[in-house]
C-alpha cells in the first residue's frame, strides 16, 4: 500500500483521538521544553556559576530525563489501552502486523514532530524568561546565548530515544494481542482485581522500612556525612516501591476485607461504593501511586528549598556576629594595631560608617606528644578583646587567666597561671567565638583562656616554638599565626564586600612583612555565595515542582476521562435497575473523591515521615531552624493541596460531561 495512505491514516487516528492525544502531545511538548530549559541551566556556555551548582543542574537534568521517559511510557500505555478497540478493528479489517507497524511509525513520527517540535520551540521561547528567574533567585548575572545548540541536540536525541522506546513497546503490545482480544480489550480492565496479600505485606514492609529510616536515622546522626545522603536515597526508594506495592495490593485487599463484612457491605450506600472502589482501585493503582510519588517529590523539594532560601539570612547571621569580619594573622610582629587603624581610616574616608567595632586577638594552638596520642587544644583571647566583645570591664595580671577550669591554678607549657575567673560555655565570648568558628555544639569548642594581653599570647607562642625545637616527639597541629580580628557592622545599605576590599587593599599596601594570613569575610560576600547555592536550589525546587505538578495534573485528567467513559455505561444500568439519581451521584462522587484524594493524603503522610530526616539533611547547608522548616512544610502542603484541588475540580468537569445524561 501507498505510504501516503499510512500517513493519512495516522493523522486521522491522532485527530479522532484528540481527547486523548492533545494532552499526550502537550505532555511530550512540556517534557521536551522542561528538559531543554533545565539542560540550558547547566550548560557551560550559559551563566557563569560555581561548579557545584552546575553539577547539581546537570544531575537534575539526567534525573528529569529518566522521569520523563518513565512518565511518557506510562501515559502512552494508558493511551494505547484506551485505543485497544480501535486497533482490534484495524486488525479485523485486515491490517497485518507490518501494516500496523507502519501506522504506528507514522503516529510516532507525528508525535515527535509536533510534540518535540512544539516543546523545543516553547523551550527556546521560555528559556530566556526561565534563566532570568534563575538569575534573579540566585543573584548570578544573566548571560549566555539565546539558543543553546548543544541542548537542542541533546533534547532532540533524548526524546527520539524515549519515543523510539515507546514505539517499540507499542509494536510489542499490538503484536501480542489477537484481533478479537483487541476488540474486547477495553472490557478486560473490568475484571475484578485479585486480593494480593503478598504484595500488600511487601508494601507494608517496604514502607515501614522507609519510614523507619526517615524517623530513626536522624537520632543516630552526629553530623551529616555522605552515608546519610545514601540512607536518604535508600529511604526514598523504599517508600517509592512501598507506595506502589500498597496501592497495587493494599487498597484492593483492604476493600475486599470490607466486602466480607456483610453487615457493612449490604447497605445501599456501601454496597455500590465498595464494589465500585474495588474495581476503580484495581484499574488505577499504578497511576495513583505515580501521582502520589510525584506529589511527595513536589512537596519535599519545594518545602526544603523554600526553607533554605527563607532561612538564608538567619543562618548567615549565625556566622556573622558583625557584617565585616577582618581577620589577619602573621608570624612576624607587624604593628597590627596601626595597620587596622589605618585601614579603618581608609574605609571611613571611602564613605563607610563602621560601628560596634570589636578588636580582639585570637590564637588557637594545638599540639600533641607521644606521636600524636596525647593532644591538647587551647585557644587564647586577650583581655581587651574580652572587654570589647562582652562590654564588661576586665583587668588581668600577667599570670592570671579566665577559663572554665575547676582548679585555682593552671600550667600551660610550664607557665603557671592563676585562674582569676570562670569562662563557661554560656559566656558571651564563647558564644561569639562559637558563631565565628561555626561550631554548633559548645562541647566542640577548644578550651579557651582569656589572658592579660597580646604580650602574654606572644610569650606563649615563643615557648611553643622552643618546645618544637627541643622535643622530637612534640608536634604542632596548628597555631602558626596569632589572628588579629576586627569585626564591625555597617549601616544598612553600605556594601560590606566593598568595604572589606578597601581594608584588604590597605593591609596589602602597608604590611611590612610579607607572610600573613587573611581569613577575613564579609556578610555580603557570604550572602551572595549562599544565594547562588540556595537560589539555584530554590529554582530547581520550583521548576521541578511545577513540572511534576503538571505531570500529576495530566494523570488526574487521564484518570477522569477513563473513569468518565466507564461510569457512563454503569450509570445507565444503575438508573434502569432502580437506583435513584441522587444515590448514584453521591456514591460515584464519593468514590471518585476518594480515588483522587488518596494519593494526596498518602503524600502528606510520606512528607510527615520524611520531615525529621530532611530536617537533618538541611543542616548540610547550616539550616537548623526546625520551626522555619515546619512553617515551610505546612505552607507547601497548603498551597499544594489548593492546586491539587483546583486541578481536580477542573478535570472533574470533563468527567461530569462524560457521565452526564
Partner 1 sequence: MTVALLEVEGLQKTYTTRYGGQAVPALTGVSFTLEEGQFAAVMGESGSGKTTLLNVVAALDRPTAGTVRLDGRDTAAVPERELAAFRRENLGFVFQEFNLLDTFDIRDNILLPMVLAGRSRQEMERTLPPLAKKLGIADILGKYPYEVSGGQKQRTAVARALILSPRLILADEPTGALDSRSSDALLELLDEVNAGGQTVLMVTHSVKAASHAGRVLFIKDGTLYHQLFRGDDDRGRFYGRISDALTALAGGRSDG
Contact residues: partner 1, CB under 8 A: 187, 190-192, 262-263, 266-268, 271, 275-276, 278-279, 570, 572-583
- Which string of DSSP letters, residue by residue, matches 416-453? EEEEEEE--TTSHHHHHHHHHHT-SSGGGSPEEEEES-
Nearest distance, CB of residue 283 and partner 1, angstroms = 11
Among the residues of 350-486, which ranges form H helices? 383-390, 428-437, 454-470
Of 180 and 477, CB closest to partner 1: 180
Angle of the 117-138 helix axis to the 523-576 helix axis, nearest 10: 140
Q: Which is nearer to partner 1, 317 or 575 (CB)?
A: 575
63 vs 47: CA distance, rounded Å: 21
Beta-carbon contacts of residue 516 (< 8 Å; ≥ 6 apart): 328, 329, 330, 331, 334, 481, 507
Set of cell numbers at residue 373: 596520642
Closer to partner 1 at the Cβ: 263 or 627? 263
Residue 73 Cβ, how far from partner 1 at the closest point, in Å? Answer: 28
Nearer to partner 1, 469 or 576 (CB): 576
Rounded (5°) CA angle 351-353-357: 140
Considering only CA atoms, which of 368, 365, 374 is closest in space to residue 474?
368
- Closest to partner 1 by CB, 15 or 575: 575
Cα dist from 92 to 79, 104, 155, 182, whole Å:
20, 17, 39, 9
CB of 4 to partner 1, least distance (A): 35
Nearer to partner 1, 283 or 559 (CB): 283
Angle at 528 between CA 522 and CA 533, to 5 degrees: 130
Q: Show the beta-strand stretches assigned E in 194-308.
A: none
Least distance from C-beta 278 to partner 1, angstroms? 7
Q: Residues near 617 by Cβ (< 8 Å), separated by ≥ 6?
A: 224, 228, 229, 232, 304
Please answer whether residues 417 and 401 qualify as being in contact, where contact means their C-beta atoms are separated by less than 8 angstroms. yes
Q: How far is the CB of 227 from partner 1 (least distance, A)?
A: 49
Q: How far is the CB of 254 from partner 1 (least distance, A)?
A: 16
As measured in angstroms, the least distance from the Cβ of 588 to partner 1 is 11
Secondary structure class of 194 (helix, strand, coil):
coil
| Residue 267 or 353 having the CB closest to partner 1 | 267
Distance CA(564)–CA(558), nearest Å, equals 10
Query: What is the separation, in whole angstroms, between the first and last Cα of the chain?
Result: 43
Measured distance CA(454)–CA(450) in Å, rounded: 10
Helix, strand, coil: what percent of the chain each, to 5? 70, 10, 20
Task: Return the number of the residue (373 or 661) whose C-beta is nearest partner 1.
Answer: 661
Q: How far is the CB of 38 from partner 1 (least distance, A)?
A: 43
**Separation of alpha carbons 6 and 9, rounded Å:** 5
Q: How far apart are the C-alpha atoms of 578 and 496, rounded to whole Å?
A: 79
Asked if residue 319 lies in contact with residue 436, where contact means CB atoms within 8 angstroms, the answer is: yes
Least distance to partner 1, CB of residue 277, Å: 9
Smallest distance, partner 1 to C-beta of residue 275, A: 4
* 8 A C-beta contact, residue 308 and residue 618: yes
Which of 270, 497 has the CB closer to partner 1?
270
Name the packing angle between helices 117-138 and 18-41 (round to 10°): 40
Q: Which is nearer to partner 1, 406 or 577 (CB)?
A: 577
- Give dist(CA 506, CA 570) in Å, integer: 84
Q: Least Å distance between CB 180 and partner 1?
A: 14
Extract the C-alpha cell encoding 658.
462524560
Closest Cα to residue 155, out of 72, 68, 77, 27?
68
Return the number of the residue (162 or 574) whose C-beta is nearest partner 1. 574
* Least separation in angstroms between CB 639 and partner 1: 36
Residue 449 vs 592, nearer CB to partner 1: 592
In the complex with partner 1, the residue whose CB is nearer, 88 or 479, is 88
Cα separations in angstroms, 393 against 13, 389, 390, 405, 428: 88, 10, 8, 21, 13
Q: Which residue number, 568 or 626, has a Cβ lying nearer to partner 1?
A: 568
Q: Please state the closest distance from residue 255 (CB atom) to partner 1, in A.
A: 11
Shortest separation between residue 537's beta carbon and partner 1, angstroms? 47
Quote the least distance from Cβ 579 to partner 1, whole Å.
Answer: 6
Identity of the residue, 463 or 570, whose beta carbon is nearer to partner 1 in the bound complex: 570
Residues ≥6 apart with Cβ < 8 Å to 438: 318, 319, 622
| Strands 516-518, 324-330: pairing kind | antiparallel
Relative orientation angle of helices 268-310 and 312-319, to the nearest 10 degrees: 40
Amino acid at each position: 500500500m501507498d505510504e501516503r495512505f499510512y500517513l493519512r491514516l495516522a493523522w486521522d487516528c491522532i485527530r479522532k483521538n484528540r481527547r486523548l492525544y492533545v494532552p499526550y502531545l502537550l505532555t511530550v511538548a512540556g517534557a521536551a521544553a522542561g528538559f531543554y530549559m533545565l539542560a540550558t541551566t547547566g550548560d557551560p556556555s550559559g551563566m557563569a556559576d560555581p561548579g557545584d551548582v552546575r553539577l547539581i543542574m546537570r544531575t537534575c537534568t539526567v534525573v528529569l530525563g529518566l522521569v520523563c521517559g518513565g512518565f511518557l511510557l506510562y501515559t502512552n500505555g494508558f493511551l494505547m489501552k484506551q485505543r485497544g478497540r480501535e486497533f482490534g478493528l484495524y486488525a479485523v479489517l485486515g491490517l497485518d502486523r507490518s501494516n500496523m507497524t507502519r501506522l504506528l511509525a507514522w503516529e510516532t513520527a507525528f508525535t515527535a514532530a509536533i510534540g518535540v517540535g512544539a516543546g523545543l520551540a516553547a523551550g527556546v521561547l521560555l528559556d530566556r524568561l526561565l534563566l532570568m528567574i534563575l538569575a534573579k533567585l540566585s543573584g548570578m548575572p544573566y548571560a549566555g546565548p539565546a539558543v543553546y545548540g548543544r541542548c537542542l541536540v541533546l533534547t532532540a536525541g533524548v526524546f527520539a530515544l524515549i519515543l523510539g522506546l515507546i514505539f517499540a513497546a507499542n509494536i510489542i503490545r499490538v503484536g501480542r494481542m489477537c484481533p478479537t482480544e483487541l476488540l474486547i480489550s477495553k472490557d478486560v480492565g473490568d475484571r475484578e482485581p485479585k486480593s494480593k496479600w503478598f504484595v500488600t505485606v511487601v508494601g507494608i514492609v517496604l514502607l515501614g522500612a522507609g519510614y523507619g529510616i526517615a524517623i530513626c536515622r536522624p537520632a543516630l546522626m552526629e553530623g551529616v556525612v555522605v552515608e546519610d545522603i545514601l540512607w536518604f536515597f535508600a529511604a526514598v526508594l523504599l517508600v517509592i516501591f512501598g507506595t506502589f506495592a500498597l496501592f497495587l495490593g493494599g487498597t484492593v485487599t483492604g476493600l475486599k476485607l470490607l466486602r466480607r463484612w456483610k453487615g457493612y457491605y449490604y447497605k445501599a450506600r456501601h454496597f455500590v461504593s465498595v464494589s465500585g472502589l474495588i474495581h476503580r482501585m484495581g484499574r488505577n493503582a499504578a497511576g495513583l501511586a505515580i501521582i502520589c510519588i510525584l506529589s511527595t517529590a513536589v512537596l519535599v523539594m519545594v518545602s526544603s528549598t523554600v526553607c533554605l532560601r527563607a532561612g538564608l539570612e538567619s543562618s548567615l547571621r549565625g556566622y556573622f556576629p558583625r557584617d565585616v569580619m577582618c581577620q589577619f594573622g602573621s608570624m612576624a610582629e607587624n604593628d597590627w594595631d596601626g595597620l587596622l587603624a589605618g585601614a579603618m581610616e581608609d574605609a571611613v574616608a571611602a564613605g563607610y560608617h563602621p560601628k560596634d567595632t570589636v578588636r580582639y586577638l585570637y590564637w588557637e594552638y594545638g599540639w600533641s606528644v607521644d606521636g600524636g596520642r596525647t593532644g591538647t587544644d587551647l585557644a587564647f583571647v586577650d583581655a581587651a578583646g574580652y572587654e570589647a566583645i562582652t562590654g564588661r570591664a576586665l583587668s588581668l595580671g600577667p599570670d592570671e587567666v579566665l577559663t572554665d577550669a575547676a582548679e585555682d591554678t593552671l600550667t600551660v607549657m610550664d607557665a603557671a597561671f592563676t585562674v582569676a575567673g570562670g569562662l563557661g560555655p554560656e559566656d558571651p565570648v564563647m558564644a561569639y567565638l562559637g558563631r565565628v568558628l561555626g561550631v554548633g555544639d559548645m562541647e566542640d569548642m577548644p578550651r579557651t583562656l582569656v589572658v592579660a594581653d597580646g604580650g602574654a599570647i606572644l610569650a606563649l607562642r615563643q615557648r611553643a616554638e622552643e618546645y618544637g625545637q627541643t622535643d622530637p616527639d612534640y608536634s604542632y597541629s596548628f597555631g602558626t599565626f596569632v589572628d588579629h580580628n576586627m569585626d564591625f557592622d555597617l549601616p544598612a545599605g553600605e556594601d560590606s564586600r566593598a568595604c572589606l576590599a578597601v581594608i584588604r587593599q590597605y593591609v596589602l599596601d602597608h604590611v611590612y612583612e610579607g607572610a600573613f594570613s587573611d581569613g577575613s569575610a564579609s556578610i555580603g560576600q557570604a550572602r551572595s555565595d549562599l544565594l547562588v547555592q540556595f537560589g539555584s536550589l530554590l529554582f530547581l525546587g520550583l521548576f521541578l515542582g511545577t513540572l511534576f505538578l503538571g505531570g500529576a495534573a495530566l494523570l488526574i485528567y487521564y484518570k477522569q476521562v477513563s473513569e468518565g467513559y466507564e461510569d457512563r455505561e454503569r450509570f445507565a444500568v444503575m438508573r434502569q435497575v432502580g437506583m435513584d439519581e441522587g444515590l448514584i451521584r453521591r456514591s460515584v462522587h464519593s468514590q471518585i473523591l476518594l480515588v483522587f484524594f488518596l494519593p494526596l493524603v498518602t503524600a502528606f503522610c510520606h512528607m510527615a515521615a520524611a520531615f525529621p530526616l530532611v530536617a537533618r539533611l538541611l543542616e548540610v547547608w547550616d539550616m537548623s531552624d526546625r520551626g522555619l522548616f515546619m512553617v515551610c512544610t505546612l505552607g507547601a502542603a497548603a498551597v499544594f493541596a489548593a492546586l491539587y484541588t483546583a486541578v481536580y475540580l477542573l478535570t472533574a468537569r470533563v468527567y461530569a460531561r462524560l457521565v452526564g445524561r
